[in-house]
Amino acid sequence: MNKEEEFVNLIHQNQGLIYKIVSIYSREKAEQDDLYQEIVYQTWKSFDNFKKAAKPSTWLYRVGMNTAITHMNRSKKQLQLVPLQDVKIQFSESGDSEKEEKIQQLYAQIRKLNLLDRGIIFLFLEGKSYEEIAEISGISVSNVGTRMSRIKAKLKSGITTQTN
């Protein structure tokens, strides 16, 4: 398998992961599409290091989160969306409207957190342990614990306020 095929397979297998990163770091459709394309591009740019990575499973999380961090706060004029008619990035919507509403509430509350905390709660919701979160995000395990307590409180109060 050549490099292009390997890259395309990696992205294809992890599209769901990229969708979720994009959704917690940006809200507007154009921004989401732009960030999605940027993550794909940055993954390609660093793809030679993928095989050398100590833990390939965490490599894409880092690339995705780091791209989102450095790509945030761009004005709409700075978006560099590739205008390909056939490329439609569909962000998931379930048939269940109540569940969909809750998902949107959760996204909205996560987007209120600072950039690092968004990544931490994302990894937590992805089922990562505190040790894995610490390793991927680059902070100590105890710091993850402290941050998680704060994040939980913020999310809980935010979602309760939104519901009321």
Partner 1 sequence: MELEEMKSLWSDLSIQVEKQDKIQKELLMEITKQKFRNKLNSVRIPEILGSLVCVGYAMYFLSRFGDFELWYNQVFALVTIFIMIVLPTVSLSAIKGMRNLRIDSESPAAMLEKFTKNKIRFWKVQRYGMIFGGIVMITILPPLAELNGSQEMISNPTFWMIYIPAGFLFMYLFSKWALKKYKGVIDSSEKMLQEIE
Q: Rounded distance, CA 26 to CA 44, Å?
A: 21
Q: Any idea which residue has 């809980």 for tokens?
A: 156
Q: How many residues bind partner 1 (CB under 8 A)?
A: 62
Longest dimension (CA), the chain: 54
User: Which residue of 29, 111, 112, 156 would you call a contact of partner 1, by CB under 8 A?
Assistant: 156
- The answer to whether residue 103 forms part of the interface with partner 1 (CB under 8 A) is yes
Q: Contact 50/133 with Cβ under 8 angstroms?
A: no
- The answer to whether residue 74 forms part of the interface with partner 1 (CB under 8 A) is no
- The answer to whether residue 76 forms part of the interface with partner 1 (CB under 8 A) is no
- The answer to whether residue 84 forms part of the interface with partner 1 (CB under 8 A) is yes
Local structure of residue 35 (DSSP, 8 states)? H
Q: Contact 120/151 with Cβ under 8 angstroms?
A: yes
Q: Shortest approach of partner 1 to residue 62 CB, angstroms?
A: 6
Q: Shortest approach of partner 1 to residue 27 CB, angstroms?
A: 16
- The answer to whether residue 137 forms part of the interface with partner 1 (CB under 8 A) is yes
Separate counts of helices (H) and strands (E) for the chain:
9, 0
Specify the residue, 7 or 28, whose C-beta has the smaller distance to partner 1: 7
- The answer to whether residue 35 forms part of the interface with partner 1 (CB under 8 A) is no
